[in-house]
Amino acid sequence: MAFNYLRIVICIAALMGLAVLATINLHAPRGMVSCGLAALLVAEILRRALLQLQRQDVPSLQEIPVGLPHNQQTLSDNFLQLEARLEHAPIALFLSAAKSATSNDEIAPLNNFARRMVAPGRTTDISDFNAKLNATDGAQRNVIVFDTERGRERALVAVNDMHINGMQQRLIAVLPIESELETVAFNAWQQLVHVLTHEIMNSLTPVASLSRTAHDLLAEMRSTTDVSNAHDIGNDLSTALDAISRRSDSLVGFVSSYRSLTNVPAPHPERIRLAQLFARISALLTPNWQANGGSTSFTVEPATLEVMIDSGQLEQAIINILHNAEEATANTFNRSVSVHARLTRGSRLRIEINDNGPGVPDDLIPHIFTPFFTTKSRGSGIGLALVRQLVHGNGGTVRYVKVANTGARFVLTF
């Protein structure tokens, strides 16, 4: 490229020199013609130098980038992919400026799911729907009820507050759950009706049969004249009435258990120190475990951990699980159970209860919290069902976690 510049400079200088010579030889025709021919030759050399310089400075069409630079093109592609995923996300997303908790405007649907929810023929009262979304507390998930053309529906709502370019905004995720709740409720009612029918029929069938037997025995006693025969009939009648009484007591006990599940009092939260609550439970249950060759362990991290909860209901829930652990480990060598409480991410309380028993069989795990479901010959089936009701009433969840080795683990989260 430097050689081309040099040729251009030399050619320009040569043309200037030929122009001076032509001026000097203005009255000499041969001199002027010679200068003109030389000027043409130099001009051709200059033209070629300029063309070659242009080819070096200007890239070819293949070298000219089309569109954005590589890094910007990548960002653009990522943005388009993100936009496509957002558009087809299986959850409705809305954006709100959240000027106030009661504001029912400035809610914009962000994807196709959200636009379908507020489209004509779906949600009947958009203002009421928007007001419920804006009134949702962002600290926890909430369930809202709204009217649609197909009737009332429920939806799970989660809110995340953000600051973008100095402006406060709320990203609202809405997931309709009416169909799923109906399915779960239907299955739960089916299980409950099955259990109720089974338990009631187990008591009523022998009661009805024994009642007819007692009636027949009484009629036979009235018609007989044999005293010894009457005495035997009286014994049989007494046995039948005793069986009726026992089955009736069993049925009354079952109904009382059902009432205990449906009449759980509302929780009364108070600030408690978990270490003190665990100490009370340990004093109540540890002696019996030790008397049967077992051991218990109660730990809290940190030791000063406090929580707002109904202490009586939490204590009852933990005791119920520990009673189950005691029965499950009855045939276990060096039986043990541990209760450990700690704070997890998001300042949530996690209580783990572990034992070294055989654990729950895989096929029974889905049913252990079902009311009246039991595999024990004398079990009522309300222990874990009551645990779940007590924990849920205090805003928590209880789960059975399958462990790799032997043993059972129940996790309570608040």
Three-state SS at 372 = coil
Residue 103: pLDDT over 60? no
**59 pLDDT exceeds 60?**
no
Highest mean pLDDT among 5-9, 62-66, 130-134, 149-153: 130-134
How far is 410 from 414, CA to CA, in rounded Å?
A: 13
What is the model's pLDDT at position 346? Answer: 73
How sure is the predictor about 217, in pLDDT bands with cuts at 50, 70 and 90? confident
Instruction: Tell whether the torsion through CA atoms of 243, 249, 251 and 257 is positive or negative.
Output: negative
Does 3.30.450.20 match the CATH number of domain 82-176?
yes
Question: Distance of CA 140 to CAs 120, 130, 132, Å?
Answer: 30, 18, 14
Looking at residue 329, its pLDDT comes to 92
In the chain, the percentage of residues whose pLDDT exceeds 70 is 76
CA 37 to chain centre: 90
The sign of the CA dihedral 238, 239, 242, 244 is negative
| DSSP helix/strand/coil, 175 | strand
Q: Sorting pLDDT into bands at 50, 70 and 90, what band is 61?
A: very low
User: What's the CATH number of domain 270-413, 3.30.565.10, 3.40.50.300, 2.30.30.60, 2.30.40.10?
Assistant: 3.30.565.10
What pLDDT, on a 0 to 100 scale, did the predictor assign at position 101? 47
Q: CA-to-CA distance for 289 and 212, rounded, in angstroms?
A: 48
Helices in 224-310 by DSSP H: which ranges?
227-262, 274-291
pLDDT over 90 at 279, yes or no: yes
Rg (CA), the chain: 44
Pairing label, strands 336-344, 306-309: unpaired
Q: Helix/strand/coil (H, E, C) string of 289-300?
A: HHHCCCEEEEEE
Q: Kindly report, residue by residue over 162-172, the tens digit of the pLDDT.
A: 877 778 888 89
Instruction: For CA atoms 105, 107, 108, 111, give the dihedral sign.
Output: negative
Q: Residue 142: what pLDDT?
A: 86
| Contact (Cβ atoms closer than 8 angstroms) between residue 116 and residue 122 | yes
